[in-house]
Amino acid sequence: MKSRILVIDDEDLMREYVEEALLRAGHEVDSVASGVDGLARLAAKGHDIVVTDLKMVPMNGIEVVRRTIKEYPGTSCIVMTAYGTIETAVEAMREGADDYILKPFAPDELELAIARVIEKRRLAEENRYLRNAINEAYDFGSMVGDSAAIQRVHEQVRKVAATRATILIRGESGTGKELVARAIHFSSDRRERPFIKVNCAALSAGLLESELFGHEKGSFTGAHDRRIGRFELADTGTLLLDEVSEMGLELQPKLLRALQEREIDRVGGTRSINVDTRIIATSNRDLEKSVEAGTMREDLFFRLNVIPIQLPPLRDRPGDIPGLVEHFARRFARENGKAYAPWDATILARLMEYHWPGNVRELQNAIERAVILATGTGPDIDDFQLPSRRKEPGNGGAGPRVGNSVAQMEKELILKTLEHCGDNRTRAAEILDISIRTLRNKLNEYRD
């Protein structure tokens, strides 16, 4: 990888030697004869790497490293030193230098030191990218919506993230249960530790037991090696048990013991293993009915349901649809190299009118499809390929009129809901899923 490198050395022959070696290796190189000139050159041009001698006057290499790290934190430093001054090189490392090289050295030794620093820079940049990607994908902002129901979820995540408590996230398929689980993990002090997911509905009882708890070599036919289970892999981190209600009764006692005792037994194992694994479970079923039907142990349900979080279906928070549409449209436009522009109110009206049986996941897929199929003038309603299924009857009249702005549709929805409730603001706010204060503020706006 080509880098911009600044060489600082007050010995002309050594400076020219290093510069020539780096140029032959394909790097872009500047060179100066003093630390003062080096810092001035850094300020003027900027460099990826500084290669500096230690014994210079009036500014020695230690001061060059110290000033470079402080004033140009994105720049890496390599120091050159003679064998008898290794202690000084170690001091430079304490000040932030990335590596040192002993004089005299061959060109390939210098290039090896440069390669190590370049790899370190690449990994640091990759980690920054991944960390930003994680934060962007799983922070509170990814749970888009201003409705009271979503704000309650935000508040619950804030309260429980720092705890060890077991959490049960419930909601229909597509409401974002895994997203909330990840937001909890990455908002906690376990964020740097593993986040492991197991889909309990995708595996048979035998496979799921081995997947969760691991097994010892020879514990069953086909167990040719020891396997570490997900509980151990997620130690000090978080284990997501997706669709936990699909777990068979035969395995539930073992899960209950792991939750209560914080220890597990591998299949075929002879000793228990302590684990510090935070459990988040999800389900799209009515678990109380599962308990009544005998398909879920009551004690396991209570142990999972320490902190319950209920996610509302999208049809119960239609006011969040415009914000979700913008969020996904911007994202998919960026991913597909397309320009983003606000969508026509006619399209938003149609999307707010639809029932969304697949919830946010269905909306996300529809937006991605529309962005990909859209021409330069933006998406057409046919690009969404929505079925004729609309909101269920009983919503107090026809849907929003095509051609109205979102603000006009919001006003019409609020006033019609208030009329439907006989001017009962408390009831209207409940139906609209907004606070009384928000409703009062909206009504004051409409009177102005």
CATH number, domain containing residue 304: 3.40.50.300
If asked whether residues 364 and 291 sit together in one domain, one would say no
Q: What integer pLDDT is reported at residue 205 of this predicted model? A: 83
If asked whether residues 264 and 381 sit together in one domain, one would say no
If asked whether residues 17 and 127 sit together in one domain, one would say yes
Residue tagged 């006003």 (tokens): 411
CA nearest to 164, candidates 252, 272, 275, 245: 275
If asked whether residues 375 and 420 sit together in one domain, one would say yes
The pair of structure tokens assigned to 284 is 């799209």
Q: Is residue 260 in a domain?
A: yes
Q: What integer pLDDT is reported at residue 395 of this predicted model? A: 43
Structural contact between residues 150 and 29, judged by C-beta atoms closer than 8 angstroms: no
pLDDT in tens, 227-265: 889 999 999 999 999 999 999 999 999 999 999 999 999
Rounded to 5°, the CA angle 230-232-233 comes to 60
Low-confidence ranges of the chain (pLDDT < 50): 136, 139-141, 389-398
Of the three residues 131, 161, 188, the one that is the final residue of a domain is: 131
Q: Is residue 39 in a domain?
A: yes
* Bridge partner residues of 29 (DSSP): 5
Distances, alpha carbon 68 to alpha carbons 11, 38, 58, 96, 116, in Å: 21, 10, 16, 9, 19
Q: What integer pLDDT is reported at residue 142 of this predicted model? A: 55
Amino acid at the residue 82 = A
- Whole-model pTM? 0.59
Q: Is residue 137 in a domain?
A: no
CATH number of 325's domain = 1.10.8.60
Half-sphere exposure of residue 422, counting CA atoms within 13 Å on the CB side?
A: 0
Strand 238-242 vs strand 195-199: parallel, antiparallel, or unpaired?
parallel
**Domain span at 432:** 315-447
Question: Rounded to an integer, what distance in angstroms lies between the CA atom of residue 160 and that of residue 327?
Answer: 26
Number of Cβ within a 10 Å radius of residue 231:
24
If asked whether residues 271 and 324 sit together in one domain, one would say no
Question: Rounded to an integer, what distance in angstroms lies between the CA atom of residue 344 and that of residue 378?
Answer: 9
Question: Rounded to an integer, what distance in angstroms lies between the CA atom of residue 371 and that of residue 331?
Answer: 10
- Residue 343 DSSP symbol: P
Question: Rounded to an integer, what distance in angstroms lies between the CA atom of residue 220 and that of residue 204?
Answer: 15
DSSP labels for 385-402?
---S--PPS-SSS--PPT
* Bridge partner residues of 263 (DSSP): 274
To the nearest 10 degrees (0 to 180), the angle between helices 321-335 and 345-353 is 120
Question: Rounded to an integer, what distance in angstroms lies between the CA atom of residue 383 and that of residue 80?
Answer: 62
Q: What integer pLDDT is reported at residue 252 of this predicted model? A: 95
If asked whether residues 305 and 345 sit together in one domain, one would say no
Longest dimension (CA), the chain: 92
Q: What is the dihedral of CA 109, 112, 116, 118, to 10 degrees?
A: 120
pLDDT in tens, 356-399: 888 999 999 999 998 888 876 677 777 777 765 444 434 444 45
Question: Rounded to an integer, what distance in angstroms lies between the CA atom of residue 144 and that of residue 156?
Answer: 15
Q: Is residue 158 in a domain?
A: yes
Q: Is residue 322 in a domain?
A: yes
If asked whether residues 177 and 123 sit together in one domain, one would say no
The pair of structure tokens assigned to 114 is 């440069």
Question: Rounded to an integer, what distance in angstroms lies between the CA atom of residue 38 and that of residue 31?
Answer: 8
If asked whether residues 53 and 109 sit together in one domain, one would say yes
If asked whether residues 193 and 274 sit together in one domain, one would say yes
If asked whether residues 276 and 340 sit together in one domain, one would say no
Structural contact between residues 446 and 411, judged by C-beta atoms closer than 8 angstroms: yes
Structural contact between residues 307 and 168, judged by C-beta atoms closer than 8 angstroms: yes
Tally the domains of the chain: 3
The pair of structure tokens assigned to 432 is 């609209």
Structural contact between residues 345 and 405, judged by C-beta atoms closer than 8 angstroms: yes
Q: Where are the alpha helices (DSSP H) in 80-147?
A: 86-94, 107-138
Q: What integer pLDDT is reported at residue 403 of this predicted model? A: 55
If asked whether residues 339 and 198 sit together in one domain, one would say no
Question: Rounded to an integer, what distance in angstroms lies between the CA atom of residue 36 and that of residue 72?
Answer: 15
If asked whether residues 197 and 94 sit together in one domain, one would say no
Of the three residues 295, 312, 329, the one that is the final residue of a domain is: 312
